[in-house]
Amino acid sequence: MASSITPASWLRANGFLLGLVLVVAMAFLFPGPGARGGVLHPELVGNGGIALILFLQGLSLAVEKIRDGAANWRLHLVVQSFTFVIFPLVGLLFDHLAPVLWESQPAAVRQGFLYLCVLPSTVSTSVVLTAVARGNVAGALFNAALSNIVGVVITPLLVHGLMRSTGSTGSFGPLLVKIILLTLLPFALGMGLRPWLKELVERRKPWVARISNMIILFIVYTAFCDSVAENIWGKYGALLTVQTVAGVVVLFLSISLLAGGACRVLGLERDDRIAAYFCAVKKTLAMGVPLAMLIFGDSPDLSLILLPTMFYHPLQLFANGLLANRWARAKG
């Protein structure tokens, strides 16, 4: 008998997305507390929150489970190439086309699309969707984990390179020091402590995820508070949202077609094609938000920069969830 979806189970499954909507609404209604200089002191809490998120990600990363997928080099080539090469190149193409397609689109949203394109893949949802579709779970876990490990350094480097090519960045040295202190060191510390804390973390995994999600929601709230306080949204109106959603849909479809085509050209087996697709087209919001605060934190346009990533997140969950179930039924 098929299990029915109760309101409680639906809320648990969609709580984070609902939280994103709620904190954005709160920022428009009550921007003062979360804006710079507000009583919540986002400029102080944010740095500690970023370090804690990366520490928990390192602590939760099941490195001991990824060895089985380490030898499949063709799968790794497809996923890592799409994550850190093909996706950024497509982002550059979008950046060049943006002035032609959307004359009124602000530069911050264009930066946001570039930023989205250089983020690592997700870990948990890539693995879950691959398992649902009956694909290569070990390969998906290896590649998703690898992209997150190297993405802590590669993503800021790619942001600097892409933004410099569009004339939108400054000195990188101080940023690199800050990234090492607030992301790489906590992430490495979490990975180093995992052998001793693994059982505790696995038992408390829901709470680990909730803590990270709460920090992410806080960062999103403060980012939108700053934009409301600066009256950024009054300058662009609802048209900006429509343009951004349209751009995200086109980007997702483009990458999906390219990833599917690359898997067929390389002759990957069905299980590997599924793992490659789900890892290649997905982008992490969990790491994307704290890294954005580090890289663009001084900008009042941070909410606009995060906008493409925030729209891409639910789209990839919805579309890939449908695909995973379809591929599972096709296998029988």
Phi-psi group of 169: left, alpha or beta (phi > 0 → left; psi -120 to 50 → alpha; rest → beta): beta
pLDDT tens digits, residue range 30-49? 998 888 778 777 666 677 88
Q: CB atoms < 10 A from the CB of 212, how many?
A: 23
Identity at 176, one-letter amino acid code = L
Assess whether pLDDT exceeds 90 at residue 8: no
The pLDDT-based confidence of 183 (bands split at 50, 70, 90) is confident
The pLDDT-based confidence of 249 (bands split at 50, 70, 90) is very high
pLDDT tens digits, residue range 156-167? 888 877 766 554
| Residue 328 near residue 132, CB atoms below 8 Å | yes
Two tokens, residue 325:
């179930």
The pLDDT-based confidence of 1 (bands split at 50, 70, 90) is very low
In the prediction, which pLDDT does 327 show? 93
In the prediction, which pLDDT does 170 show? 52
* Domains of the chain, start order: 39-325 (1.20.1530.20)
Percent of the chain with pLDDT over 70: 88
Helices (H), 118-184: 124-132, 137-165, 173-179
Assess whether pLDDT exceeds 90 at residue 80: yes
Rounded CA-CA distance 225/19 in Å is 15
Rounded CA-CA distance 113/117 in Å is 6
Assess whether pLDDT exceeds 60 at residue 2: no
**Looking at the whole model, is its pTM more than 0.75?**
yes
Mean pLDDT of 93-102: 79
The pLDDT-based confidence of 274 (bands split at 50, 70, 90) is very high
In the prediction, which pLDDT does 119 show? 94
Mean pLDDT of 122-135: 90
In the prediction, which pLDDT does 98 show? 77
